[in-house]
Structure 1
Amino acid sequence: MTDEPDPRFLRSRQAILDAARELLLAHGPVAVTHQRIAEHAGIGRATVYRHWPQPEQLLAEAMTTVPLPFFESPAAPFRPWLTGELTSLARQLELDAVRAVATTLANAALWNPGMDARRAGFAAAVSQRLASALTEAERAGELSLRGELSDAAALAIGPLYYRATIERAPADAALIERCVAAVGVWTSP
């Protein structure tokens, strides 16, 4: 007897996750149902239930498959790079599907320890990437940080998240510039 999982099990699991991610990004969390995933993946609903008995478990797992591309590749000069990253993030947060994923994650984390762990992992990844980039900018002499490096993500991203999710309005260039300025004093490279 082997400990290797059945290839059919792995294929159906992957098909379910792919369908869940596609539905999540296209239609938001409300679309991640066993029925819609089964239809989208072309498999039986019972197969979806075997892998994930509870819809919130499936949603949580689907959310972890959504890529997190922000702040991955910092580049000098850092101020225009950060402005571009925050602009890209703001444009993503204007999309209903992305806004739905972000707010669902924040909401579900209040009551679900698994979702809270995912939220914490997401926050840590974003904060660490941004902190690393800002540290490079400081070493290059382009930035003098204001306050604690651990607050940088809240200062830079917080206003964009608020504008997108609470006000449901786009972030303009002036707000993005204020977010860039909030992390520190920028100088020419």
Structure 2
Amino acid sequence: MRPLDPRTLRSREAALTSARELLTEQGLAGLTHGAVAARSGISRATLYRLWPEPTDLVRAAVTLHITLAQSEPAGELRADLLTELTATHAMLHEPTTEQAMRVMIERAAVEPKFAELKQALYRSGTRAVRAILTAAVDRAELPAALDIDLAVDQLHGPLFFRRLVAHRTFDLDYVRAVIDDFLRAHPTREQGMS
């Protein structure tokens, strides 16, 4: 696959920046190809070529943000989890991504395209934590029988519940407490005997 033309890359970046701004300011209703074109200076034809549906724009903008927030694991379980969940904390308290998540949850219940979008963003958003947990199981830092899906829920669930359901803010001490509770609940056999 040949690399994208630099002009196309600049157009994508400008469009995604505008899409994220519009989503924050006006919610999903404001995120139209016309509005993105007006704000970014990118033609509608280019936008439709890159993202045929509004949900494609939302997916691209939020996925990019998630990808940029994720980091390369250092191989230290608690530190790696803290790095990733600190990024989750930031996204949940940032208007752009918080609004996008709320829109996704609301619309996914009634619109199949949004249900697909929510699933894609879930996979993207949990990929780094899944990799950290899998590597920790391989290093015997976590039990071999660890249910990775359940572990992801145990780590992310309290953060999403507190922010998106209870509408409460939380700090990094809360994030650390969630991680430490998870690690205490999942000792390896060697840790359990010490």
Tell me, yes or no, whether TM beats 0.5: yes
1:101 aligns with 2:95: no
The answer (yes or no) to whether the contact 2:70–2:84 under 8 Å persists in 1 is yes
The answer (yes or no) to whether the contact 1:28–1:96 under 8 Å persists in 2 is no
Describe the superposition over 1:112-165 as per-residue Cα deviations: whole angstroms up to 9, x where unpaired.
Answer: 212211211222334443222112112223333785221122111111111222
Q: Which residue of 2 aligns with 1:4?
A: none
Residue among 48, 59, 63 paired with 1:51: 48
Segments of 5+ residues of structure 2 without an aligned counterpart are none
1:64 aligns with 2:59: yes
Q: Which residue of 2 aligns with 1:185?
A: 187
Q: Which residue of 1 aligns with 2:23?
A: 24
Shift of 1:101: 0.4
Question: Counterpart amino acid of 1:29?
Answer: L
1:144 aligned counterpart, secondary structure: coil
TM-score of the two chains, using structure 2 as the length reference: 0.70
Cα distance in 1 for partners of 2:96, 2:83 equals 21
Question: Counterpart amino acid of 2:124?
Answer: A
Shift of 1:72: 5.2
The answer (yes or no) to whether the contact 2:84–2:129 under 8 Å persists in 1 is no
2:120 aligned counterpart, secondary structure: helix
Change (3 A) 1:25 1:73: farther
TM-score of the two chains, using structure 1 as the length reference: 0.71
1:90 aligns with 2:89: yes
The answer (yes or no) to whether the contact 1:71–1:133 under 8 Å persists in 2 is no
1:178 aligned counterpart, secondary structure: helix
Identity of aligned residues (%): 21
Shift of 1:61: 1.4
Cα distance in 2 for partners of 1:174, 1:160 equals 12
The answer (yes or no) to whether the contact 1:90–1:160 under 8 Å persists in 2 is yes
Cα distance in 1 for partners of 2:84, 2:78 equals 10
2:187 aligned counterpart, secondary structure: strand
The answer (yes or no) to whether the contact 1:23–1:32 under 8 Å persists in 2 is yes
Structure 1 segments, 4+ long, off by >6 Å, are: none
Change (3 A) 1:106 1:146: farther
Change (3 A) 1:125 1:35: closer
Change (3 A) 1:128 1:95: closer
